[in-house]
Amino acid sequence: MATEEQTPVELHIVSDSTGETAARLVLALEAQFPEQAFSEIRHPRVESVDDLALAVATARGRPAVMVYTLVEPGLREAMRQLCRRARVHYCDLLGHPIDSIARVSGAAARMTPGARPPLDQTYFKRIEAIEFAVKYDDGVGSGLDEADVVLVGVSRTSKTPLSIYLGYLGHKAANVPIVKGIKPPPALFEIDPAKIVGLTIEAQRLSEIRSNRVATMGGPKKRYAGLLDVYEELDEATAIHRRLACPVLDVSDLSVEETAMRVIKLVADRQRERKHKPKPP
């Protein structure tokens, strides 16, 4: 946690497009300094050296870093010179990768600000996977056989956002909720066990999340957010996870992105182990 006396480090995000690429990296950078306070200042759609000079001027003399994604070589060079003259720290996110790929491939970069990925097979695979996650969310339908990943957990363990994010990464994800007193669908115990991943969460944390949801949506707290009921529901989930013999991730302190990466690795590792497991004589 940042203290009140701490001076925030200014991260100036400069881009000739929307700045979303740089913004995503900035989030990853901030995560490496959990005790440090940060302030993000965006400078999107810069089109000229004057625009760059104005952005650098706002950071001059301050605890700041210019983080930029500029495609046009002239603007990148101008940005370097402006930052050096102003004695402002800077980080060019696109320049070195573009130059390196061009040298290795022998192909010239498009040099188009805001260029989008092509509408190729990978793109349509992602769209299909996202639609799949929506269609088979929360145990709806019968997509467990077709799914690449099946998430099993109690309510508010991020099953839905995790399924959508996995879809964005191109993995078809279905999720099955564990509800106290209601048996999971029989198909859950008939599918390939290597693609099942259980989700759990610390009881107190789950109770708080559910209490906040009840306060927002309205409705009785008891039997949904009460701590005793939460413990009982988590115990039931643990029993089902054991019956499925699936790995279980605790999502209490994990982001959706990190959870997704762990889910993908768990499924891949289990499928690899099964593939190389010696067949019984």
Q: Among 41-55, 137-151, 193-207, where is mean pLDDT lowest? A: 137-151
The confidence band for 239, taking pLDDT boundaries of 50, 70 and 90, is: very high
Query: Measured between alpha carbons, how far is residue 76 from residues 2, 14, 130, 177 in Å?
Result: 33, 11, 36, 50
Residue 112 region by backbone torsions, left for phi larger than 0, else alpha for psi between -120 and 50, else beta: beta
Fold of 9-105: Rossmann fold (3.40.50)
Q: Which of 44-48, 78-82, 190-194, 214-218 has the lowest mean pLDDT?
A: 214-218
Does 9-105 match 121-276 in CATH topology?
yes
Strand-strand pairing, 149-153 and 89-92:
unpaired
pLDDT at 219: 60
Integer angstrom CA distances of residue 169 from 129, 162, 193, 199, 264: 8, 11, 21, 19, 10
Give the largest Cα separation in the chain, rounded: 75
Q: Which helix (H) or strand (E) holds 114?
A: none
CA 202 to chain CA mean position, Å: 21
pLDDT band at 3 (very low <50, low <70, confident <90, very high): very low
Instruction: Note the pTM of the prediction, 2 decimals.
Output: 0.64
**pLDDT recorded at residue 116:** 55
Structure tokens that stand for 162 in this block: 């995790």
CATH annotation of 121-276: 3.40.50
pLDDT greater than 60 at residue 111: no
Report the percentage of the chain scoring pLDDT > 90. 53
- Report residue 14: phi and psi, to 5°: -110, 130
The domain locations on the chain are 9-105, 121-276
pLDDT in tens, 48-81: 999 999 999 999 999 999 999 898 889 999 999 9
Q: Provide the pLDDT for residue 1.
A: 43
Tokens of residue 177, six digits: 């909720």
Give the model's pLDDT for residue 128: 92
DSSP H helices, the chain, are 20-31, 49-59, 73-86, 95-105, 121-135, 159-168, 203-217, 227-244, 256-276
d(CA 55, CA 67) in angstroms, rounded, equals: 11
CB neighbours of residue 211 within 10 Å: 16
269 SS3 class: helix
Rounded to 5, what percent of the chain is helix, strand, coil?
50, 15, 35
Distance of CA 52 to the CA centre of its chain: 31
